[in-house]
Amino acid sequence: MTWEQADQFVESDVIEWTEAIWPPKTGRRRRTKPRPVGKQKIIAQIAAIDGDFIKLTVLKAEITEDNSLKPILPHKPGSSITKKRSTLLRGEPKRLHWSEEDVREALLS
């Protein structure tokens, strides 16, 4: 498998990125800004692109860093998640190289 840096996304792309895991909201006011409780690495396929939002199907997810007192559960394979494009770009996404890269280029234009 060959991964390359991704800055543009196309439906059917398989991408990999790392994201922070935030503590659940308790409804109480906090005096301090919440900090991430861990990180997870996700591999997912793009199912749909709707403006600035990207719908993904999770293929694999694993916890890479766990700073919480309780065990953290990663996303379940097969589940559907929606992310904003800017959120994905923050996680330094990489995409799986297509065997027919010229078809991908045609889909971009």
User: pLDDT (tens digit, 9 = 90+) per residue, 64-107?
Assistant: 999 988 889 999 999 999 999 999 999 999 999 888 888 888 88
Q: What is the pLDDT of residue 92?
A: 93
Predicted local distance difference test score (pLDDT) of residue 55: 97
Q: How many Cα atoms within 13 Å fall on the side-chain side of residue 61?
A: 22
What confidence tier does 109 reach under pLDDT thresholds 50, 70, 90? confident
- Could you give the CA distance from residue 28 to residue 31 in angstroms, rounded to a whole number? 10
pLDDT for res 102: 84
**Is pLDDT above 80 for 29?**
no
